Copies of this chain bind each other. A is one copy, B any other.
Amino acid sequence: MSDTSHNTYFDGGVQSLGFENASGRATVGVIAPGTYDFNTDGAELMTVVAGVLEAIVDGESDWETYPKGSRFEVPASSHFQVRAETPSAYLCEFL
Q: Which residues of B contact A4 (CB under 8 A)?
A: 12-13, 15, 30, 32, 87
Within 8 Å of chain B (Cβ to Cβ): is A23?
yes
Instruction: Determine if B22 and A15 form an interchain contact, defined as CB atoms under 8 angstroms apart.
Output: no
CA distance A28 to B23 in the complex (A): 18
Integer count of this chain's copies in the complex = 2
Give min CB distance, A26 to chain B, whole Å: 6
Give the size category of A's interface with B. Answer: 20 to 34
Per DSSP, chain A at the interface is: strand
- Within A29-43, which residues are at the interface with B (CB < 8 Å)? 29-30, 32
Give min CB distance, A45 to chain B, whole Å: 11
Give min CB distance, A89 to chain B, whole Å: 5
